[in-house]
Structure 1
Amino acid sequence: MSGNPFDGGDGYDGGWLVVTNADSQYALWRPHLDVPKGWQIVYSGPDRDGALDYVEQNFTATAAAPTT
């Protein structure tokens, strides 16, 4: 395999993951790559659009409290 595994053009048809960490950050990931330490899989599906839909439906942005 060559190319960027996250652009979908790497020739790998193994689907897409959504991973999240303790800070509620989300990332798209590929199943053939090791999930980084501190991240867990919250979605697994066959296509990138499904993974993006999952993030859109489940991600809640939180604003940081202003520091004084």
Structure 2
Amino acid sequence: MSDDRGYQVVRNDEEQYSIWWTDRDLPAGWYAEGTEGTRDECLAKIGEIWTDMRPLSLRLRMEAAGSAA
């Protein structure tokens, strides 16, 4: 089965990434990252840029706790 849809990489305020169809409006809270292409191309981009799976709020809390020690 061929997937001829266009996809884009999207990111939310917690710096979590996903893919979304280019022909649909983005869901609330998600923003275009700038990469568009096939599903596999977009997933490969996410694999390159999303190296820390922790949400931004958790990373900031951990960083603050580490600097307070």
Q: Which has the higher contact order (CA 8 A, sep 6+)?
A: 2
Equivalent residues, number: 56
Task: Indicate the SS of the match to 1:23.
Answer: coil
Question: If the length of structure 2 is used for normalisation, what is the TM-score?
Answer: 0.65
Query: Tell me, which stretches of 5 or more residues in structure 1 are unaligned?
Result: 1-8
Among all aligned residue pairs of Structure 1 and Structure 2, give the percentage whose two residues are the same amino acid.
31
The list of structure 1 runs, each at least 4 consecutive aligned residues, that deviate by more than 4 angstroms after superposition, is: 62-65
What is the deviation of 1:58? Answer: 0.3
Question: If the length of structure 1 is used for normalisation, what is the TM-score?
Answer: 0.65
Q: Deviations over 1:25-55 (max 9, x none)?
A: 111110111101221111211x111001100
Q: Which of the two has higher C-alpha Rg?
A: 2
* Backbone CA RMSD of aligned residues: 2.3
Task: Indicate the SS of the match to 1:53.
Answer: helix
Query: Tell me, which stretches of 5 or more residues in structure 2 are unaligned?
Result: 63-69
Return the structure number with greater helix share: 2
